[in-house]
């Protein structure tokens, strides 16, 4: 198992998605809009993978936070399908 993991990681480029990021929550807490105030703040629906439940869940990402600079190596996806494609295969 360890050798397979090493080979996969060795083949990853620096721009490839790091599977360890699927275990992390977004660090930009100031960008997350709480459910109770969702109607008061402009936001975009995005998805984050939950490593414990093995599912993607919806977050509300504030429009004042840049959408494009969200790194491709971050656990923050524009669609549920992309979230599952990137993270569900690492379980």
Domain coverage including residue 55: 18-90
Q: Quick one: pLDDT at residue 12?
A: 45
pLDDT at 8 over 70: no
Quote the pLDDT of residue 2.
43
Is 73 inside a domain boundary?
yes
Residue 76 lies inside a defined structural domain of this protein: yes
- 8 Å CB contact between 91 and 57: no
For 9-64, how does the pLDDT look when each residue is reduced to its tens digit (9 = 90+)?
A: 444 444 455 778 888 888 777 888 887 887 888 888 999 999 889 999 999 988 88
Q: What is the pTM of this model?
A: 0.68
In a domain, 11, yes or no: no
Q: How many domains does the chain have?
A: 1
CATH number at residue 46: 4.10.410.10
Which whole-number Å values give the CA distances from 91 to 39, 61, 82, in the listed order? 35, 26, 16
pLDDT in the model for residue 67: 60
Establish if 12 belongs to a structural domain. no
Q: Is residue 6 part of a domain?
A: no
| Residue 47 resides in a domain | yes
Q: How confident is the model at residue 72 (pLDDT cuts 50, 70, 90)?
A: low
């Amino acid at each position: 198992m360890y050798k397979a993991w090493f080979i996969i990681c060795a083949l990853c480029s620096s721009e490839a998605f790091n599977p360890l990021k699927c275990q992390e929550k977004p660090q930009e807490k100031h960008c997350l809009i709480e459910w109770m105030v969702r109607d008061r703040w402009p936001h975009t629906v995005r998805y984050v993978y939950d490593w414990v439940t093995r599912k993607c869940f919806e977050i509300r990402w504030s429009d004042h936070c840049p959408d494009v600079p969200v790194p491709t190596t971050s656990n923050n996806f524009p669609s549920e399908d992309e979230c599952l494609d990137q993270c569900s295969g690492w379980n």
